[in-house]
Amino acid sequence: MTLTSRRPEASGQAPGQAPGQFHAASRCPDADIPVAAVQAVLLASTKAVPGVRHVSIGVLGRGGAPRTLAATGPLARRLDEIQRGLGEGPAIDAVHGPVPVVMLDRDELEHAVRWPEVSTWAASLGLTAAVAVRLAWEGRTLGVLTLSSDDGEPMPERTVELATAFAAHAAATIAIARKVGQLELAMVTRQEIGQAMGILMERHGLTAESAFAYLRRLSQNGNVKLRDLAAQLRLTGRLPDGDRSPLCPTTSDAVQRGRERPQLPTRDHR
């Protein structure tokens, strides 16, 4: 795989980026994690682990490769991109390997034994050391915290210790933020579905149970998320098939079934 070099600014920040500003994904690869929470973790890392200028936080995406949620600048983000593209490097090993803390030291940069291509690229970026620490919570791997330096010095052991300790707090923060995001999404979804049910109940005289069953049937047959169907009905007043002949029985058929009650069998008293 060929990677095109894009050498970052010497400061490690993007042009026009003020100190203290971070590069964050405009949309998280994991939509359940609020971007603001990740930026707060990133800011805290620069204070908890002094002397490290380049930091990134990645979470596991599809395929198992960590995707960058936020970074202190283009250099940290570029190192993540290189590792993800080549499928090797300290961040990849920290996430999937047996050891949760993986170092990229001067010896590796000079001899490129463990990760030949990544080490070569890291050296070309001017990096002199890096450490990747697995982010794990309740036995589950969430992602990776990567810290790198370009000051020409080996990464102090104390820095690695602080990074490891901070990673535990970062993982907890991300895990809790994800749960909060999921709860907020569930609450919004529930409200939207309830409003869509109300529209069907008013328009067609359905019971709440029949309205929900109808939406669920459309969702299953059309392979469309229930919340997306509800949102479309709320915003447009119409369902995917024009509200005339939905993907399963027609609306009139569904309405009729919702109104009908089963007839009790009559007894022959003769």
Q: DSSP of 26-45, one letter per residue? A: SS-SSTTS-HHHHHHHHHHH
Rg of the chain taking only CA atoms, in angstroms: 27
Burial letters 28-67, b for 16+ CB under 10 A, else e: bbbeebbeebbbebbeebbebbeebbbbbbbbbbeeebbb
**Does residue 26 have a pLDDT over 50?**
no
Which residues, in sequence order, are bridge partners of residue 131?
103, 147
Query: Of the ranges 75-79, 160-164, 234-238, which one carries the lowest mean pLDDT score?
Result: 234-238
Q: What proportion of the chain, given as a percentage, has pLDDT over 90? A: 23
Tell me: the pLDDT tens digits for 121-137? 999 999 999 999 999 98
Domains of the chain, start order:
23-181 (3.30.450.40), 205-259 (no CATH)
Could you give the count of Cα atoms lying within 13 Å of 235 in the half-sphere of its Cβ? 7
Residue 34's pLDDT band, with cuts at 50, 70 and 90, is low
Q: Which residue has the higher pLDDT, 37 or 159?
A: 159
Of 6-15, 18-27, 79-88, which one has max mean pLDDT? 79-88
- If you average pLDDT over each of 92-106, 198-212, 221-235, which comes out highest? 92-106
How far is 267 from 214, CA to CA, in rounded Å? 33
Q: CA–CA separation, 246 vs 31, rounded Å?
A: 30
Give the integer Cα–Cα distance in Å for 42 and 71.
Answer: 7
Q: Are 122 and 109 in contact (CB under 8 A)?
A: yes
% of the chain residues with pLDDT over 70: 74
- pLDDT tens digits for range 199-211: 888 888 888 888 8
Residue 139 class from Cβ within 10 Å (0-12 exposed, 13-18 middle, 19+ buried)? exposed
